[in-house]
Amino acid sequence: MNTSMNGLAVPDVSVGQRSPEKVKKLKRPGRWASYIMMGLVAVLVIQSVATNPNFGWPIVGEYFASPRVLDGLVNTLQLTFIAMLLGVVLGVILAVMRLSTNPALYGAAGLYIWFFRGTPVFVQLLFWGFISALYPTLALGIPGAEPLFSTDTNSLITPVVAAILGLALNEAAYMAEIVRAGIVSVGKGQTEAAHALGMSNMRTLRRVILPQAMSVIVPPTANNVISMLKTTSLVSVLSFPELLYATQLIYAENFQTIPLLITASIWYLIVTTLMTIGQYYTERHYNKSTRAQGLSIMRRFIELQKRRGTNDAPAR
């Protein structure tokens, strides 16, 4: 078509046409066998799940949208959001400290990351829960002098505060590594250009480096949000009524353990599924920009090669 529009001779008729030959598809007997096998397994599982009365589906239905379960779900979502937000903010600060040339700063950040990544989050949550055994009262003021403010630890570190502290401080250690990877992914030339324009370190970070680091930071962060949603279930140990603990409170009364655990699981699945869909789109969005960046790196490389070439043979 293109060629005929230009009025040129068509060089190759077969281009763009399907070849007339019949192609025999390769036989894949193994594939068919696997279809049958998986189908059989699925039927067995579904049949057992549907007919085994111990699953208690009517009870699942009864509690699925009950106020206590929904309150727990809301608490879980809020806890995820707040812990993640604090984790990100603290993570950025830790990442910047880690990249600082000040030994006290990067040392402290390194120690923090080492500790919080090196101990289980469950243990950390227990520590926050039992913090009053460690420090029965909390006081603010100058050591040795009369404190400005003093309180009983248990009234300040309530279960929800312990939950937020435990989750956020742990998350910060992971976010710090993600943010650090993002920052170092931005070329040194960007910092130099910003500095050469008289921009301060802070301004360079805020206006030049972080916006570009986003494409490296956002996809794993989305992943961490999904992890965080599930990790909040550990907080049940602090008697904070998030989704899991809310259902535990119910089955403590009616002994319908399995149906209520199923109820919680279905809600976790629903939310993680929605988040995974969101993650797919954010990842696709940022992959686009990484792909463009990859191209420009390639172009630079080619340009550099060209330049090398002209340097070696400077005939002009």
Partner 1 sequence: MTQTPKVMVKATNVWKSFGHNEVLKGINLEVKAGEVTTLLGPSGSGKSTFLRLINHLDTASAGRITVDGDLVGYREHNGALHELRPQSIAKMRSEVGMVFQQFNLFPHMSVLQNIMEAPVGVKKESKARVRERAERLLERVGLADKRNAYPGSLSGGQQQRIAIARALAMEPKLMLFDEPTSALDPELVGEVLDVMHDLASTGMTMIVVTHEMGFAREVADSVVFMDGGVVVESGRPKDVLSNPQEERTQAFLSKVL
- Asked if residue 310 binds partner 1 (CB under 8 A), the reply is yes
Burial 123-157 (b: 16+ CB within 10 A, else e): ebbbebbebbeeeeebeeeeeeeeeeeeeeeeeeb
Selected range binding partner 1 among 30-38, 82-90, 235-243, 289-297, rule: CB under 8 A: 289-297
Selected range binding partner 1 among 15-23, 118-126, 176-184, 208-216, rule: CB under 8 A: 208-216
DSSP secondary structure string for all residues of 29-88: HHHHHHHHHHHHHHHHHHHHHHH-GGG-HHHHHHHHT-HHHHHHHHHHHHHHHHHHHHHH
Distances (CA, A) of 179 to 88, 113, 220: 9, 13, 10
Apex CA 33: angle with CA 31 and CA 35, to 5°? 70
Angle between the N-to-C axes of helices 57-64 and 257-312, in degrees from 0 to 180, rounded to the nearest 10? 70
Q: Which CB, 93 or 214, lies closer to partner 1?
A: 214
- Asked if residue 307 binds partner 1 (CB under 8 A), the reply is yes
3-class secondary-structure state, position 292 = helix
d(CA 16, CA 103): 65
In whole angstroms, how close is the CB of 189 to partner 1 at the nearest point? Answer: 4
- Asked if residue 311 binds partner 1 (CB under 8 A), the reply is yes
Beta strands 149-152; 137-140: pairing state: antiparallel
In whole angstroms, how close is the CB of 316 to partner 1 at the nearest point? Answer: 8
Selected range binding partner 1 among 16-24, 26-34, 278-286, 292-300, rule: CB under 8 A: 292-300
Q: Which CB, 203 or 230, lies closer to partner 1?
A: 203
Among 36, 156, 274, 292, indicate the residue that binds partner 1 (CB under 8 A). Answer: 292
- Asked if residue 294 binds partner 1 (CB under 8 A), the reply is no
Q: Per-residue contact track with partner 1, 156 to 185, x per CB under 8 A?
A: ------------------------------
In whole angstroms, how close is the CB of 162 to partner 1 at the nearest point? Answer: 40
Interacting positions 184-203 with partner 1 (CB under 8 A): 187, 189-190, 192-201, 203
Q: Per-residue contact track with partner 1, 209 to 228, x per CB under 8 A?
A: --xx----------------
Do 180 and 99 touch, CB atoms closer than 8 A? Answer: yes
Q: Taking the chain, what is the end-to-end CA distance rounded to the nearest angstrom?
A: 43
Joined together, the tokens standing for residue 76 give 């879980």
Q: Which CB, 254 or 310, lies closer to partner 1?
A: 310
- Residues of the shown chain interacting with partner 1 in the complex, contacts defined by CB under 8 A: 187, 189-190, 192-201, 203, 207-208, 211-212, 292-293, 296, 300, 303-304, 306-307, 310-311, 314
